[in-house]
Homo-oligomer: A and B are copies of this chain.
C-alpha cells in the first residue's frame, strides 16, 4: 500500500480496514442469502423464502453505507493512486454484492410458485450448485480482505464447474418440459433460478479478477466464456439423460 499525502498512514489504514470489514460483512450476508434461498426452495418453505426477500434490505443498506464511507474517505484523506484504486475497488465490489443479494431475493420470490407444483428431479442439483457459488462468494471476499491472489485464481477456476452445472440443468429442464406440460411452469422458474446461480458465479469471478489485478497488477488469463454451450437446440426427441 502506498503512503498518501496529507494524512498519517495509520489512520488511512484504519479507514481502509473498516471499509474492508464492511465489505466482508456484506459478503457474508450475500453468501447467507444465497444459501438460505436455496434451502427454502428445496424445503418448499415459502415462509423462509419471504424472510430472504425481507433480509435483502440489509444488503442494500450496507451498500449505501459502503458508498457513504468511501466518499468520506476520499474527501477527507485524498488518497493517491493505489489507495484510491483500493477504495474504488471496494465501491465496485459492494455493488456486485448488492446484485448477488438481488439474485438470492429473486430465487426466494419464485419459491411459493414452486412449492405449489410437484417436485421435479432437477431441483436436487440446485443445492450443490448453490453451495459452490456461495462458497465462491465467501472465498473471493477472503481473497479481497487478505489480498490473496492465489485464492482469487482458485475462485475463477471454480466458475467452470458452475457453468457445467448450469448447462446440464438447462438441458434437463427443457427435456422435462417436453415430457410433460405440467412440468413447464416449475421448470421455467427453475431455469431462471439456475441462471441466477450461474450469474452469481460470474459475479464472484469478476470480483476475483478485480482482486487479482489489484494485488498483482496483472490480469488473470482470459477465462472461457460462461454460457456458450446452452445456446443449442434441444428437440422433443431428446431425453433428460441424452441431452
Instruction: Give the number of copies in the complex.
Output: 2
A110 to B195, CA, bound (A): 14
Chain B residues, Cβ within 8 Å of A192: 191, 195
A92 contact from B78, B95, B170, Cβ within 8 A: B95
Q: A84, B71: Cβ atoms under 8 Å?
A: yes
**One of A9-17, A143-151, A154-162, A180-188 contacting the partner:** A180-188
When the two chains form the complex, which single residue of B75, B84, B109, B184 contacts A231, counting CB atoms closer than 8 Å?
Answer: B109
A220 at the interface (CB under 8 A from B): no
Residue A233 is within 8 A (CB to CB) of chain B in the complex: yes
Q: Tell me, rounded to whole Å, the shortest Cβ–Cβ distance linking A212 to chain B.
A: 16
Q: Are B234 and A185 touching (Cβ within 8 A)?
A: yes
Given contacts A184-B178, A231-B110, contact A75 B71 (CB under 8 A): no
Picked from B91, B117, B189, B231, the residue with its CB within 8 Å of the CB of A88 is: B91
Is A127 in contact with chain B by the CB < 8 A criterion?
no
Q: CB-CB < 8 A to A71: which residues of B?
A: 84-85, 88
Residue of B nearest to A78 (CB): B78
Q: Which residues of B contact A217 (CB under 8 A)?
A: none
Whether the pair B178, A231 counts as a contact (CB closer than 8 A) is: no
- Which of A88, A185, A235 has most chain B Cβ within 10 Å? A185
Q: Interface code A176-210, partner B: CB below 8 Å = 1, 0 otherwise?
A: 01100110110011011001000000000000000
A163 within 8 A of B: no
Question: Which of B88, B117, B184, B234 sits near A177, CB closer than 8 Å?
Answer: B184
Determine the distance from Cα of A106 to Cα of B226 in the docked complex, in whole angstroms.
Answer: 11
Please name all residues of chain B whose beta carbon is closer than 8 Å to the beta carbon of A177 when the two chains form the complex: 177, 181, 184, 188
A1 within 8 A of B: no
Nearest-Cβ distance from residue A195 to partner chain B, whole angstroms = 7
A139 within 8 A of B: no
Chain B residues whose CB sits within 8 angstroms of the CB of A113 once the complex forms: 231-233
Q: Does A28 contact B (CB under 8 A)?
A: no
Collect the chain B residues with CB atoms within 8 Å of residue A117's CB: 233
In the assembled complex, the Cα of A188 lies from the Cα of B176 at a distance in Å of 12
In the complex, what residue of chain B is closest to A175 when comparing beta carbons?
A: B184
Q: Does A40 contact B (CB under 8 A)?
A: no
| A225 to B109 alpha-carbon distance, docked (Å) | 12
How many angstroms from the CA of A71 to the CA of B174 in the assembled complex?
Answer: 46
